[in-house]
Amino acid sequence: MKHLLSTDGLDRDQAIAILDTADRLKQALLGREVRKLPTLRGRTVITMFYENSTRTRVSFEIAGKWMSADVINVSSSGSSVSKGESLRDTALTLQAAGADCVIVRHPASGAAHRLAGWLKHTNTSVVNAGDGMHEHPTQALLDAATLRDRLGSLDGRRVAIVGDVLHSRVARSNVHLLTTLGAEVTLVAPPTLLPTGVEKWPVTVSHEIDSELASQDAVMLLRVQAERMTGGFFPSSREYSIAYGLNERRLKLLPEHAVVLHPGPMLRGMEIASVVADSPQAAITEQVRNGVHVRMAVLYHLLAHEEETA
Amino acid sequence: MASRQRGATDPAGDREILSAGDVARTVARMAHQIIEKTALDAPSAPDVVLMGIPSRGAPLARRLAAKIAEFSGRTVHEGTLDITLYRDDLRRGPTRPLEATKLPEGGIDDRLVVLVDDVLFSGRTIRSALDALRDHGRPRAVQLAVLVDRGHRELPIRADYVGKNLPTSKTEDVVVMLEEFDGRDGVVLK
């Protein structure tokens, strides 16, 4: 594997290999005083974030450092990007400076694919850390890792993804990955927050949350992405919360074993009630913890093998 | 196949070095040697743990631990230590899957760790294992037990317990088969 750009196109064997590696890494680091592996010694990983992020950037940085890679963070403010340098020139600069891997987050859908195209004849790998409303593959992988931890296998499991599917790269990546891993996905959202063409996705669509909950093994809540909204998608936050928020009453409709996921950042009281976020069924901090192991696994699969140029 | 004479060469050019019975006897002998060398049956016996290197070192460590318990009456803890993340040749081949790492109960600090592997060849696996151990704690001492030593060392490493010294040419392949993975025990030179 040279790049990780999307979960669309990641086959079942590749996905399971990454998740298994993440499990092994977690096991190898368990109870250690020195959380440092020499595996990527001498490799340089550059994170390039053109959008705000806490958990993704930090967890990539920790992942790289725990494997002894040199990790350098570039953000759009404070770099030549603010002087007007194009994404292409920035990428070629970082490659020329010696990056073995560029991890990119960008507001434009498809940015990571373009980047991989520009770096085609080099040995530099590209990881998509979120591109606009397109994909966020490592988030989907860490969600799958968390669900595997809690539920065992994903085969035949039912997962509802609730909320702002339209603007969500997390939803897109999860739909591809979870169905590849054998889960049945139901999207629950108001019609205004579903993308056009959703009928061609391998999912069931519902506009009503209460009737779906009893049959789910997991519920994944999405943040309502106000920053990407240009029109009126729903009357008010309060109304959204009443219609689609996971509150205490709805938590009781879920089977006891069901897992509650949220990719973060959470808007407590909006898509998720505070008591639900802090309930034992919520796996939100486990998601963050797994995020580090999954990203270590991704770096391992991209960087710890003989070079491939393609 | 089971009735084949030891050392006989089959039509494919494979030579049986150890039969299933030989493997069992060899493991038992190595268990006795570990008991003797570490003075496990003495009253002031050290705290010994066996760490198997996956894949085939892991079941070997379990078998040795069982034999040691049988012969000495002492329980020795065992675990597994995957060394893949410490290899020096990760960039010389496709991505290698990781194996299980499981530290024995109580960890390895201040204990006598015996590393267990199936074949000792270049010594690079053991170099990696020593690095990995260092990240997990500080053993009092480290020893090495291998079922087969086939020579051709590339590093200054030697085993403390050797089941079978087997002179080989570099082009030959030593295949250790264990019930747990291969359905039967045996060592074959290909």
Helix (H) or strand (E) holding B112, with range, is strand B112-120
Q: Is residue A47 part of a domain?
A: yes
Identify the band that residue B1 occupies on the pLDDT scale cut at 50, 70 and 90: very low
- Asked whether residue A165 falls in the same domain as residue A272, the answer is yes
Q: Are the Cβ atoms of B92 and A306 closer than 8 angstroms?
A: yes
DSSP A200-226: GSSSEEES-SHHHHTT-SEEEE----G
Q: Is B59 left (phi over 0), alpha (psi -120 to 50) or beta?
A: alpha
Is the same domain home to A112 and A196? no
- Tell me if A228 is assigned to some domain: yes
**Average pLDDT in chain A:** 93
Residue A38, chain B, CB below 8 Å: the answer is: yes
Least confident of A174-178, B11-15, B138-142: B11-15
Chain B residues with beta carbon closer than 8 angstroms to that of A28: 82, 85, 98, 101
A17 contacts chain B (CB < 8 A): yes
DSSP per-residue codes, A221-273: E----GGG--S-SSS-HHHHHHHH-B-HHHHHHS-TT-EEE--S---BTTTB-
Which residue of B93, B98, B107 is in closest CB contact with A21?
Answer: B98
Q: Decide if pLDDT at A231 tops 90.
A: no
User: Any CB–CB contact under 8 A between B45 and chain A?
Assistant: no
User: Chain A to chain B, count of Cβ pairs less than 8 Å apart?
Assistant: 57
Within 8 A of A37 by CB-CB distance, chain B residues are 85-86, 135
User: Position A184: which residue type?
Assistant: E
Instruction: Give the model's confidence band at A123: pLDDT under 50 very low, under 70 low, under 90 confident, else very high.
Output: very high
Give the Cα separation of B83 and B106 in Å (integer).
20
Q: Where are the alpha helices (DSSP H) in chain B?
A: 20-37, 57-72, 124-136, 179-182
Residue A5 in any domain: the answer is: no
Annotated binding site of A for carbamoyl phosphate: 55-56, 105, 136, 139, 264-265
Q: What is the mean pLDDT of residues B39-56?
A: 91
Tell me, what's the pLDDT at A271? 93
Q: How many CB atoms lie within 10 A of CB A155?
A: 10
In this structure, is residue A309 part of a structural domain?
Answer: no
Q: Which pLDDT score, from 0 to 100, does residue B29 have?
A: 98
Number of domains chain A contains: 2
* Residue A3 falls inside a structural domain: no
Collect all residues of chain A within an 8 Å Cβ-Cβ radius of residue B109: none
Task: Identify which of A28, A33, A34 has the shortest CB distance to residue B85.
Answer: A28
B112 neighbors B127 (Cβ within 8 angstroms): no
Chain A contact present for B98, CB below 8 A: yes
Residues A228 and A155 in one domain: yes
- Shared domain check, A274 and A159: yes
Is A7 within a domain? Answer: no
Closest to B113 measured CA to CA, from B38, B50, B39? B50
Annotated binding site of A: 55-56, 83, 105, 136, 139, 169, 223, 264-265
Task: Give chain A positions within 8 Å (CB) of B131.
Answer: 38
pLDDT-based confidence at residue A79 (cuts at 50, 70, 90) = confident
Alpha carbon distance A5, A110 (integer Å): 9
* Least confident segment among A10-14, A134-138, A142-146, B9-13: B9-13
CA dist A270 and A264 (Å) reads 13
User: What confidence score (pLDDT) does residue B115 get?
Assistant: 98
Q: Which two tokens stand for residue A183?
A: 């889960």
Q: How far apart are the first and last CA of chain A?
A: 10
Contact: B82, A24; criterion CB under 8 Å = yes
Do A142 and A152 lie in one domain? The reply is: yes
A294 and A187 in a common domain: no
List CB contacts (< 8 A) between B89 and chain A: none
- Residue A98: count of CB within 10 angstroms of its CB: 12
Residue-wise pLDDT for A129-176, tens only, equals 999 999 999 999 999 999 999 999 999 999 999 999 999 999 999 999
Report the percent of chain A where pLDDT is more than 90: 82
| Residues β-bridged to residue B17 | none
Q: Does some domain include residue A1?
A: no
pLDDT band at B16 (very low <50, low <70, confident <90, very high): very high
pLDDT band at A308 (very low <50, low <70, confident <90, very high): low
Please, which residues bridge with residue B161 across strands? B145
Asked whether residue B4 carries a pLDDT value surpassing 70, the answer given is no
Asked if residue A248 and residue A183 are part of one domain, the reply reads yes
Q: Is A275 helix (H, G, I), strand (E, B) or coil?
A: helix
Name the average pLDDT for chain B.
Answer: 93
pLDDT tens digits for A164-194?
A: 999 999 999 999 999 999 999 999 999 999 9
| Pairing verdict, β A259-261 and A184-188 | unpaired
Domain check: are A86 and A171 in the same one?
no
CATH of the domain at A226: 3.40.50.1370
B chain contacts of residue A304, beta-carbon cutoff 8 Å: 90-91, 95-96
In this complex, is the C-beta atom of A141 within 8 Å of any C-beta atom belonging to chain B? no
Q: Which of A13, A16, A26, A32 to mutate to test the interface with B (most CBs of B within 10 A)?
A: A32
Whether chain A has a CB inside 8 Å of the CB on B124: the answer is: no
B8 — pLDDT class (breaks 50, 70, 90): low
- Per the model's pLDDT, the better-predicted residue between A260 and A84 turns out to be A260
Rg (CA), chain A: 19
**What's the ipTM?**
0.86
Q: CA–CA distance from A180 to each of A18, A187, B5 (Å)?
A: 14, 16, 51
pLDDT digits 0-9 by tens, A87-114: 899 889 999 999 999 999 999 999 999 9
Query: Please, are residues B133 and B139 in contact by the beta-carbon 8 Å criterion?
Result: yes
Whether A68 has a pLDDT exceeding 80, the answer reads yes
Domain match, A148 and A276 both? yes
Class of domain B15-189: alpha beta
Q: Which of A:63-102 have CB within 8 Å of B? A: 67
Residues spanned by the domain of A193: 137-283
Q: Residue B6: pLDDT above 90?
A: no
Specify which residues B48 forms β-bridges with.
Answer: B112
Residue B2 has pLDDT above 50, yes or no: no
The answer to whether residues A246 and A221 touch, using CB atoms and an 8 Å cutoff, is yes
Query: Are A22 and A76 within one domain?
Result: yes
Mapped onto helix, strand or coil, the DSSP state of residue B65 is helix
Is the torsion defined by CA of A233, A171, A300, A36 positive or negative? positive
B42 touches chain A (CB under 8 A): no
Contacts of B97 in chain A (CB under 8 A): 17, 20-21
pLDDT number for residue A309:
52
Instruction: Note whether A34 contacts B: Cβ–Cβ < 8 A.
Output: yes
Place of tokens 């747990």: B180
